[in-house]
Chain A
Amino acid sequence: MHELSIMQSALNQALREAGLAGASRVHEIRLRIGVLSGVVPDALRFAFEALAPGTAAHGAVLTIEEVPARFWCAACHRDFVAANFYAECPDCGATSGELRAGRELELSSLEVDHV
C-alpha cells in the first residue's frame, strides 16, 4: 500500500504550489497515472479521502487520468497501445522494448482560488 505515501507526496506538492500562488483553497487536484506505474488509482482515492481533511484541499475533487501503456514499433514506425500489457505490435507482431508512455506518476494541475 505505497499509495498512501505517494498520495501524501502529491498532496504536499499541491498544497505548497497553492500556497506559493497565494491561494487558500484547492478545488481540484489532477493526477496522471500510468498503468505500468505500479500504482492503483482507487487506492490513491482512498488515501486522499484520509489525508485531505484539515488541509486546504479538504473537499477537493481528485481527478485521475489513467495513461495507457504505449510502445514504439521500430519496424512499423508507429506507436501502439498495449493490449493486456503485451509489448507486441498489433500490425507486425514484433516485440518492442521501448515504452513511450504508461509509467507516469504525475501531479499535472490544480484548480485553486484566484487571487
Chain B
Amino acid sequence: MCEACGCGLPAGIPATVSGPGHHDHGEHDHPDHVHDHGHHGHEHSHDHPHHHHPSEPGAAERQTLDLRHAILEKNDRLAERNRGFFQARGILVINVLSSPGSGKTTLIGQTIRRLGPRLRTAVIVGDLATDNDARRLRESGAPVVQINTGTVCHLEADMVARAVKQLDTARLDLLVIENVGNLVCPASYDLGEDLRVVVLSVTEGEDKPLKYPPIFHQAHAVIVSKLDLDRACDFNREAATANLRHIAPRARLFELSAKTGAGLDDWCGYLVQQHEAVKHRDPLDA
C-alpha cells in the first residue's frame, strides 16, 4: 500500500521525493476511493479537505477534525515561488549547509574566483549576527547580501525572497545561498534551491553523516573540505566515503581544499555543467 497515506494503491506505483521538498504525494490521485485511517477505526471519503465526526463512543461531546496539513506549508509554498522565479531566469541556485566553521565562506569565495567569468555569481549569506562573512565574500568581487537572522537558526524561503530583491538577477548565472552554520535546523526548510550542498570538513570526523542523517540524506552534493588538514586530523577518507554512501548514496562527492585549490576544478566544473542543465531546462518540465 501507499506508505504516505495508507491508501490501498499498490506500492509499485511510483511516489517520488521531489528534490529537497517533502514526500510528493501528487503522483497518484485519490479520486473517490475510501481511506481507512486505522487510529479512528472508521472510514471516510477523501473528496473534501477535512470533516467532522463524533469521536469514540461515549465521548459524543467531542469531535475529530482530520486535517493532514503540512506544518511548513507556508514555507514550502514560498520556496516554490522562489524556484519558479529562478527557473524563469535560468539561474542555478545552491543551498550550502554545514556546521559552523567547516569553511563554507572560504570555499564559496575561492569558488567564485575560480569560476571567474564562466558563471556570474552572487551570494546570499545567513548568520545570526555580524556582516563579517559578507565583507569577506565581497573580496571575491561578487555581489553579496547578508541576512542577519537574529536568533533564528536557519534561513527560510521568505528571507531569501527579500534578499534577492537587492540583487540584479537579470545578469546572474549562479546564486549561492550560504545557510546559517547548523547541521540540524536548515534541513527542514526548502528555500527554492536546485541543489543542496553539504560541506563536511576533515576536522569534524568521518562519522558526521551518521550523526546527522537528515541533512546528509537530502544532499545532492557533499564536499569534504580542508583536505590539506587530513593527515593532521587522522581523517580516514575511506571511512568517511563509506559513511556518506550509507546515508546519501546518490550524492555527488567532492574532496577539496579551498586553501590549496586542490579539487576545486572538479567542483567548479560540476557547477558549470549544472548551470547548463538549468539554462536549457524546459520551464514546463520543472
Contacts and interface: CB of A to CB of B under 8 A. Distances in A.
A65 to B, nearest CB: 8
Nearest to B156: A5
Contacts, number: 135
A17 B68 CA distance: 12
A86 B185 contact: no
- The main secondary structure of chain B at its interface with chain A is mixed
A91 B210 CA distance: 22
- The main secondary structure of chain A at its interface with chain B is mixed
Interface residues of B, number: 45
B63 A112 contact: yes
B284 interface: no
Contact of B65 (A77, A97, A110): A110
A10 interface: yes
B247 A87 contact: yes
B214 interface: yes
Interface in A42-92: 70, 72, 77-79, 84-88
Contacts of A21: 52, 63, 65
A18 B52 CA distance: 11
B74 A9 contact: yes
B275 interface: no
Given A27-B62, A101-B4, A17 B246 contact: no
Interface of A: 1-2, 5-6, 9-10, 13-14, 17-18, 21, 23, 27, 31, 36-39, 70, 72, 77-79, 84-88, 95-101, 103-115
Which A-B residue pairs are the 5 nearest by beta carbons?
A38-B187, A95-B249, A85-B213, A97-B250, A2-B185
